[in-house]
Structure 1
Amino acid sequence: MLAVSSFCFIAAPAAEADNLLIWSPAKVSPNTYQATVGFRLPMTWETSAGADLGLGATRAGALLPDAERATLWGKLADENVTPASRARQEVAVRVDTLRGSGTLLLSRSRNFIFSENLDMELSRALSVGYAKADTRPASLDVSQAIKLIYPWTGTALSARGAVTDTRGDFSTTLAISQNILPNLDLSASLTDPISSGKTGDVRLRYQVRW
């Protein structure tokens, strides 16, 4: 059974606040630039808002429409961490001012130690999307997932169920991952395992950090 969680927001000043300005520019290609600008507010909840901007051009100076970005965003998040668990709830909104689309996301997750040999993760989310170009007024996605982690063996099992759009399309995904080496992981997933259109995926990932 899928459930939608309720969220509460407490606007209380925090004692101290550092790094209130968000500024992250990037050069994507020789003639394409992107930047994230915004600010954080010193409140009990992690509160931030800003914009993702982008602009690109050809070598001749003509603008590239696909490289243009002007997305407004905002986020409220609360995280509670204890030695045995971590809980987080978040409200996020994004509005693409160039393409006339937007999304509202409500999510909640909890990680905790279930037993000496087992950790557990629970998550649920509700997403409402709007696109001006679509004939449908809005899209609605509701999902819920559970993940079992065996820390001593590096094995993780997960299951996810989701209802997509107002038509009530339901999908499920089962997955397993195994840590083989410190930087090497093997994972496999199966989507809609009891339907005729089931699909599978196997991946081997090697991660290098420097």
Structure 2
Amino acid sequence: MSVVINRLKYAILSHRWGKSEPTFQNLKPEGEGYKKLKEFCVRAKEYGCRLAWSDTCCINKESSSELDEAIRSMFTWYREAYICIVHLAQTNSLETLEKDEWFLRGWTLQELLAPLRMRFYYGPTWTPLTQNPNDKDDAKVVQALRRTTKIPGNDLRNFQPGPNRAWEKMSWAASRKTTRIEDVAYSLTGIFDITMTVAYGEGDRAFKTIHGRAY
């Protein structure tokens, strides 16, 4: 991975999943999900990236070992991306960020914190939210993100993972939801910089494990 990072810039996508997302097994050029993927690749190219990574089609979720590796590595992948491109589907302004479901999901918390460079786009036309090449350098964007997430500006700009400030970090995730109950815990491992066994089916025991280790 380090060889690729040093030689090739890659963009990474953060988004809410729809009903017709392309997958590792089925990358058919049809449906809204494929259109979103295509637009993401266009934006990645504008940043000079020769590689683009999207979770729906770059992870073979039928392989338990690959899924385990992906979950353990997710924070690092987002941190080391040249640019994280965020697509918002339910808002079109800084004043209404809280209305977008992107800010209510579990996995998007680390996708917000990990990258050092982000760009927000919205709607079917992928309109940029600002004209800045990096929205994390925009004081107005950071202020709007602080209002929406209650996360301090320094953490939004340059978050450092670790087990410290556990109560505060837990509060950032408290109102967020995940499709599977285990992901409540798995989506926090990168934020706390801990390793745990990925075992879907263990239910809320996963959260009890991270709860004990974080504190």
The TM tier, using the shorter chain, reads: under 0.3
TM-score (normalised: structure 1): 0.25
In terms of fraction of residues, the more strand-rich structure is 1
In terms of fraction of residues, the more helix-rich structure is 2
TM-score (normalised: structure 2): 0.24
Structure exhibiting the larger radius of gyration computed from Cα positions: 1
Greater length-normalized contact order (CA 8 Å, ≥ 6 residues apart): 2
